Amino acid sequence: MAVNYGLNKVRFPAPVPAGSKVRLSAELLTVEDIAGGIRIALRATIHCTALESPCASPTRVPLLSLTKESG
């Protein structure tokens, strides 16, 4: 199971023109052991084909459970 722990360092340096195509690249920054699972940090960079620079660059922090769910 994955839980969204939040976003860090969210930046929107440029607006995206309407109708533009976008693409996303991601980089794994950290992996931390926590009780019952792991916490990772992924830096996403969102590019717009109409711009030369990124239009957004958040760091997503999900928690991933490594325990077997009862049921």
For 18, the token pair is 């309407």
**pLDDT tens digits for 9-58?**
888 988 899 999 999 999 999 999 988 899 999 999 999 989 888 999 99
Beta strand segments in the chain, E? 2-8, 22-34, 37-48, 54-56, 59-65
Q: Is the dihedral of CA 15, 19, 21, 26 positive or negative?
A: positive
pTM listed for this prediction: 0.69
User: Which domains are present in the chain?
Assistant: 2-65 (3.10.129.10)
